[in-house]
Structures are given as structure tokens and as C-alpha cells.
A and B are shown apart, each in its own frame.
Chain A
Amino acid sequence: MSETSAKPVEGERKVFMTGNEAVCWAALAAGAEIMYGYPITPQNEIMHYWTRNVPKFGRRFLQTEDELSAGFTTIGGVLAGRRAFTATAGPGNVLMQEPLSMAEAMRIPVVVVIQQRGGPSTATVIYSQQEVTLTCFGGNGEGLRIVYSTSSLQELYDYTIKAFNTAWKYRFPTFVLADGYQAKMRESLNIYDPAARGIEMVPTEPFLGRPGKIGEGREAAHLRNTYNIEEELAEVLERDIADYERVAPEIVEHDSFNTGDCDLLVVAHGIVFRSAAMAVRDMAGQGKKIGFFRPITLRPFPEEQFRAAAAKAKTLLVAESAYGQLLKIVQQNLYGSTVPIRTLLKPGVGITPEEITDECSAILAGKGA
């Protein structure tokens, strides 16, 4: 399956395409071997582009009966040693949490692309940032996952490739969290062969069906997620949590601007960060003491970097297309700080740079609630 004649992306080239198409090309370029998926808007075109390229590059695809199956078959693909992935959104993300809790429990490096849509329930097929809590902390566990929140189609391409390496290096389920806007809009971006940029793909290996004779070359694998006693479970969780906390500083990523001694620090992620960055740079250019902090990894969260930035700010503004999902993470990571937090929360609705500018201006002028 991995022995393909032509590379899907040679060298590097500039393209103009949608985010879903960018995800597909990134997965192809990263050497993803099999995709399992179930239709749900706004992520469908990832499958559409993938299925068109399957025969050209010796890849595979399975359309499953639902997202439970898409998640569990992806787990099966990874257990067989393949770079496997799936993509979903909204109610599909809800169903996907069951298999993802298994992936979390068994340290199975699945890669999942989430194109957030409105919620709760079926809501809209368009856009939101309302799947932050679900993606970071879904399932009946502790949220031992890695979640990259992208803000552009270039990042969607970059982080989809990176997600495969992060997953297989650290063995935690890894998510690329984007949204309907990024899924459907077109932008210019550079697509590239990871090797052309010196990116080495972390090799995969089978958990089941390894070569060799049982009892001679190898022992039979007995993989479990069920335990008989509390202490048995605790031992596994303590090990996994310790692993997660140990590697978190290597994984966390953020972006920031003008964080030293500012009157207002805008905190946003994903596509809303794009609006925030435009507004903040514009206002800073006009002499306002304003900066931004943008977490790229929502799990693990860049706590140390964020606390340092927040410590130098007089006020924070959290802006998101959800009713306080990023806000909760921000508050948790600021525990003990007394910096006032203002909010611009628009669940399921996009936020323009102008809205952020207006909000920032009101705060800096000492107005507003």
C-alpha cells in the first residue's frame, strides 16, 4: 500500500484551493495510507478528493455506516500499522468520541480532522468553534489528546502533516481542529512534499499482526482497555498522564504579538484569531498598547507562555465563536491571576476584525459591560 510510484506532491508549489482539498493533499503528502469516513458537512470534500486520488497513489478508502464505525475502523487501520485517518464534524464528532476514548485508553495514534459546524444538535452545517470542549475533553476520560487549532489553509496543510508525526511519535490521538469556513473557503497556500522541507515522517508499526512466528520470533499481543481492579487502571492512567505531562512542553505551540506591557491582550484561536490579529495589528499601528495571544495547541495548552503574557496585560479579551469554551480553558490556566477578563462570545457565528476592533476600542476607552 505504501509502495507508490509517484509522489502526490513533488517539491513545493503554490496552489489556490479549499481547506478540505488542502487536508486531502496534506494527508497524501504525509503518506497516509487509508482513510475511513462517513459523510457529514462541512468535511465531505476531504473524502471526495481522497477517493479521486486513491487509485492514483495506491491508497485506500472505506465509507462506513456511521461515525462510530469510522472511528473504530480507523483504530483497526492503525492497529494494523497503517498511517490512518478520518474526518468529521458536529454530531459526527459526538459519535466519534466513543472510538476516540478507546484510542486514548490504548494510546492508538489515530489522526482526526474536525471541521466544526454549529451546535448543539444538528444546528448548522456552516461554522462554529463549539467543538473545542468535545474535541479536547470528549469521552469518559482525562483528555489525553493533542489538538491543533488552525487559522488558515496553509496551517491546515502544515498541521495535517504534523498531526501524523505527533500522533505516531507520542502515541496520543491527534486532532486537527478547523471549521466550516476553513473547510469551504479558497486561499493561496504552498503545498509541498514533507521531504522537500526536511520533514521526516515518523515511521509506523503494527500493534497487531506483526511478522514472525508466535512463541519463536515474537509473543502474541494482548491489547486491553478493560481492567478488573481500581489499582490496575490507576497504574495505566498514572503512566499515561505522566507521559502526557512530560511531553506537553515539547508539543505546545502558540503565537503572540505585542505581549509586553499591554493595556489589552486579545485571546483567540482558529479562524477567529485571524480577525483578532488583523484588528490588533491595526490598532497597535495606531499606537494603542494592544497585543494578542493565540494558542495553536488547545490540548495540551501553552499554559506557561500564556500566563507570562497575561501577567503583563492590564485586561484580557477572549473572543470566540462559542459561548465560553476557550474561555473556560483560559480561566483554568489563569488560576490565581486577577487580570480582568472581558469577552466577545458569539456561539456558532463568525467574528469579523471590525467587531473585534469595536470591542477593543470600547474596552480601551473604558466603556462597555
Chain B
Amino acid sequence: MAVEIELQPKMPKCWNLASKPHKFCPGCGHGLVLKALGQAIDELGIQDRVVFGCDIGCSLLSWDFFDVDSVQTHHGRTTPVLVGVKRANPDLIVVAYMGDGGGYAIGSQHLVNAANRNDRITAILCNNTIYAMTGGQMAPTSMPGQKTETTPYGRDVNEQGYPMLGPEMVAAITHEGAYVARGTVSKLRTLKGYIKKALENQIAGRGFSFVEALSTCPTNWRTNAQQTWAFLEENMQGYFPVGELKVPADAAGGASEGEEE
């Protein structure tokens, strides 16, 4: 018994224990992204200053995930709500948490304009290549050929276009002071490093901070563990390169890229 307890992984202090075990499906990557975020919040000691906003979609299930001030918004509208909070009280550290549909489709105008205005917020976007909560429709990030409920014969890039490269777009339109990175739940410590830097960038008041996290959805991908991992590591990372795309010149130190778990 004692040994078992010792082996229990430590939950971040800022997690809301009352809402654990969490509500995500087995194999879902959201819990890992939120673990990385929780660790970053703990390490920075900012639990009391964070305002966490979640989008609609599976990201909504994170509304009571943390023991930090949290608010549900609407699909695609997390960015403007938190821009509004930050503009009204710049002392707060605001985190907009969304999926690929919320950030790149229905809320893309908000992401683009908040990035261009260099709003001092941290946006974290979970890219699992699919609309998961609504039952597996094509997302802006669905892979070429990927079968979804609305592309049952596979995403045809001539008809449905190519997957959206979000961080590349954000990096292209942001100016000095912005931080942009893409991590993956398969390299969690690196992802945590990116998220921490994204939060530090906001705290330093430099500018817009954006981290896309490549994530998994075995439920809608209809994959077993091995296939899930292969899709994330091979298909997705082949198309969505992992790494930092934009780091402010005066940001201290680099995240340990490629660090092994």
C-alpha cells in the first residue's frame, strides 16, 4: 500500500481535486495539456492571479478543472472575453483555452485580431484534428485524407482545403513581443516549457502569447492506443512541425526543445 501511494503521480497544486478524475475520454490529450498548464501555473506561483476561460467543445469540460477563477464562454469567443478581462484589469494573468474549431474556424477573427493587436493574453489551442464534442466532424486542422463524419471518404484537399497551420499564421501576423509555439502531448515537458514561457511573456507584458498543443482523440479517430500514438507522432507531426516559431528577443532562456520524457 505504501509503495502504491509513493507511485501516485503528483497532481498540480492548482488543480481542483473535487473535479478529479476529470471528464475527458480515455486517451484524450486535454488532460495532458491541462497538466502542463497546471504545472506551469504552479511553478510561476500565479494561481491567485490567473483567470482561465474555456471555449465550447471538449475544452468546455475544463471549466472546473482548476482551482483558479474560471469562466465558460461561447464557441469561438473565449479570446474576446479574456481580452476584455485583461484590458479591464491588466494585473490578471488570463488564459484562453480552446480547440481547433473554436480558434481556427468560428473564432478565427478573434484570434487574428487579438494577435495583431498584440493583446497581452495567453491563448492555448488544443489541436486534435477534429470536432470531438459534436461527434467527429472535419476541423480546420483535419489531415489530408482523414475520414471524419463530414468527410466520410477522407478530406479531399481540392474540395475542403488543407489543414490550417495556426501557429505559422499567428507568427506571421504578430509583431515584436509575441510568443508563438507548437508543442505536443507526446513531449509533455517541452509543452509545459512552452506554456510557461507563454505565461511569462504575458506577465512581462511583452505581447500576445500562443501555444498550439497537438493532441489526441481516440474516441473520434476510432483508433487503439498504438494507432493513436502513430497518428500523433507520424501523421500530425509530419504536417504540423513542433517547436517555437517566435520568441521575443528579451525572453529569458529557451524551453528545452526535444527534451525526452
- Which chain A residues have a beta carbon within 8 Å of chain B's beta carbons? 1, 33-34, 36, 60, 62, 64-66, 68-69, 72-77, 79-82, 84, 98-99, 102, 206-210, 212-215, 220-226
Q: Smallest distance from the beta carbon of A76 to chain B beta carbons, Å?
A: 2
A58 to chain B, nearest CB (A): 13
Output the nearest chain B residue to A218 by Cβ-Cβ distance: B48
Chain A residues positioned under 8 Å from B48 (CB to CB): 212-214
Instruction: Identify the closest chain B residue to A61 (Cβ).
Output: B87
Verify A220–B113 contact, CB threshold 8 A.
Answer: no
User: Is A75 a contact partner of B81 (Cβ separation < 8 A)?
Assistant: yes
Contact A33 B110 (CB under 8 A): no
Contact B109 A66 (CB under 8 A): yes
**B51 and A77 within 8 A (CB):** no
B92 engages A209 (CB within 8 Å): yes
Residues of B within 8 Å of A224, CB to CB, are: 63, 72
Given contacts A72-B73, A76-B81, 14 further A-B contacts (CB under 8 A): A60-B87, A60-B88, A73-B81, A73-B87, A75-B84, A76-B86, A76-B88, A77-B85, A77-B88, A102-B73, A208-B69, A208-B71, A214-B48, A224-B72
In Å, the complex CA distance between A82 and B92 comes to: 13
By a CB distance below 8 angstroms, the chain A residues around B89 are 80-82, 206, 209
User: How far does the alpha carbon of A69 sit from the alpha carbon of B73 in the complex, in Å?
Assistant: 12
Q: Which of B13-68 contact A (CB under 8 A)?
A: 16, 47-49, 51, 56, 60, 63-64, 66-68
Q: Residues of A contacting B64 with CB < 8 Å?
A: 222
CB of A226 within 8 A of CB of B72, answer yes
Within residues 95 to 124 of chain B, which ones have a CB less than 8 A from any CB in chain A? Answer: 109-110, 112-113
Which of A72, A75, A84, A208 lies in contact with B51, CB distance below 8 A?
A208
CB distance from B224 to the nearest CB of A (A): 29
Assess whether A36 is in contact with B84, with CB atoms less than 8 Å apart.
yes
B82 at the interface (CB under 8 A from A): yes
When the two chains form their complex, are residues A98 and B87 in contact, meaning their CB atoms are under 8 A apart?
Answer: no
Query: What would 19 A/B residue contacts be, using CB atoms closer than 8 Å?
Result: A33-B88, A36-B87, A65-B109, A69-B110, A72-B77, A72-B80, A73-B84, A75-B84, A76-B80, A76-B87, A77-B84, A77-B87, A79-B71, A81-B88, A98-B77, A102-B77, A209-B51, A215-B67, A223-B72
B47 touching A214, Cβ below 8 Å = yes
CA gap between A209 and B56 in the complex, in Å: 22
- Select B84's contact among A76, A209, A213, A214, beta carbons within 8 Å: A76
Interface centre among B60, B67, B73, B82 (most CB of A within 10 A): B73
| Partner among B56, B60, B85 whose Cβ is within 8 Å of the Cβ of A208 | B85
CA distance A223 to B87 in the complex (A): 20
Kindly identify which residue among B63, B67, B83, B85 contacts A214, using a CB–CB cutoff of 8 Å: B67
The 3 A-B residue pairs with the shortest CB-CB distance in the complex, in nearest-first order: A76-B84, A73-B84, A72-B80
- Rounded to whole angstroms, the CA-CA distance of A1 and B71 in the bound complex is 24
Tell me the nearest residue of chain A to B89, going by C-beta. Answer: A80
**With A and B bound together, what is the CA distance between A213 and B49 in angstroms?**
9
The distance from the CB of A59 to the nearest CB of chain B, in whole angstroms, is 11
Judged by a CB distance under 8 angstroms, whether B70 is at the interface is yes
Query: With A220-B66, A222-B64 known to touch, is A68 a contact of B88 (CB < 8 Å)?
Result: no
Asked if B72 and A76 sit within 8 Å, CB to CB, the answer is no
